[in-house]
Amino acid sequence: MRFVTVSGPPSSGKTAVIIKTLEHLQKAGQKVGVVKFDCLFTDDDELYRKNGIAVRKGLAGALCPDHYFVSNVEECVQWGLLEGLDVLVSESAGLCNRCSPHIREVLAICVIDNLSGTGTPKKIGPMLKAADVVVITKGDIVSQAEREVFAARVNMVNTKARLLHVNGITGQGSFELSTLWTGAEETVTVEGKKLRFSMPAALCSYCLGETRIGSDYQMGNVRKMDLDMPTGFKTDGGPQELGPMNTGGES
């Protein structure tokens, strides 16, 4: 079975790109499936089912979606094998822009759209940087110049990736993408394989359900911003005995 991880910011067109691309494989008689990861809600599974694609969905709920993904991905691969799939796709949104569900030796796709602004390639970091193929969507509604500028920005973040323009509505470019999927390596398990990029760090009191705000309630993996506050500043709301105000920039 070919296994492909697809990631990308919310609303970048991942689902549309996946459906259009799998259509070409279905036409060629292949059995295809998707595992959709999301946070709180998704009805994309219905959309996949309607298109004759085997589907399972996973909602991370209160958990960090990336940690949830990596804790479940091996089981998903085994599900795909049991279903007798030729191609299995995992779809996950890079919800905090810090994550990257990409696994070594597994074809990694990042979907990103032209409308998201030229700063986006730098902002989303790991999921773009670690991808083998970058798919750029919504090229049909912006100018040629903006497409070129955006592609150049993507190229600055990830110089090695193959870059493809796909239109999620008409499917233009999806056939070309499908040829890369069928050329992916065989996967029988991801057990023991490594993530290309570490997951966002967690394990502070808020991970465990704390809701109150303030230093007294914070434990574990906590890091404070440097706001150049006066020395001796207290965050407990009590009376302040302040040293001189920091001048900023020098600390």
Between 55 and 177, whose beta carbon lies closer to another protein?
Answer: 177
Q: Mark the segment that binds another protein (CB under 8 A) among 32-40, 82-90, 158-166, 187-195.
A: 158-166
* Interaction between residue 118 and another protein (CB under 8 A): yes
Selected binder of another protein within 8, 65, 126, 139 (CB under 8 A): 139
Q: Sheet holding 87-93: strands in order across?
A: 54-59, 32-38, 87-93, 2-8, 107-113, 133-137, 162-165
Nearest-approach distance from CB 157 to another protein, in angstroms: 11
Nearest-approach distance from CB 28 to another protein, in angstroms: 10
Selected binder of another protein within 146, 206, 229, 246 (CB under 8 A): 146
- Report DSSP state, residue 230: P
Size of the site for another protein (CB under 8 A): 30
* Interaction between residue 109 and another protein (CB under 8 A): no
Of the CA atoms within 13 Å of residue 31, those in its CB half-sphere come to 10
Coil, helix or strand for 76?
helix
Selected binder of another protein within 40, 62, 82, 145 (CB under 8 A): 145
Q: Find where tokens 């070409």 sit.
A: 24
Could you tell me whether strands 54-59 and 32-38 are parallel, antiparallel, or unpaired per DSSP bridges? parallel
Q: Mark the segment that binds another protein (CB under 8 A) among 15-23, 156-164, 207-215, 235-243.
A: 156-164
Selected binder of another protein within 47, 54, 142, 199 (CB under 8 A): 142
* Interaction between residue 112 and another protein (CB under 8 A): no
Element (H, E) at 134: strand 133-137
Coil, helix or strand for 191?
coil
Q: Find where tokens 């074809």 sit.
A: 107
Coil, helix or strand for 51?
coil
- Tokens of residue 71, six digits: 């804790």
165-184: contacts with another protein (CB under 8 A): 165, 170, 172-173, 175-176, 179
- Tell me if 166 sits within 8 A of 172, measured CB to CB: yes
Report CA 186 to chain centroid distance, whole Å: 22
* Radius of gyration of the CA atoms of the chain, in A: 21
* Interaction between residue 115 and another protein (CB under 8 A): yes
Residues constituting the chain: 251
* Interaction between residue 49 and another protein (CB under 8 A): no
Q: Which residues bind another protein (CB under 8 A)?
A: 114-115, 117-118, 139-149, 151-155, 162-165, 170, 172-173, 175-176, 179
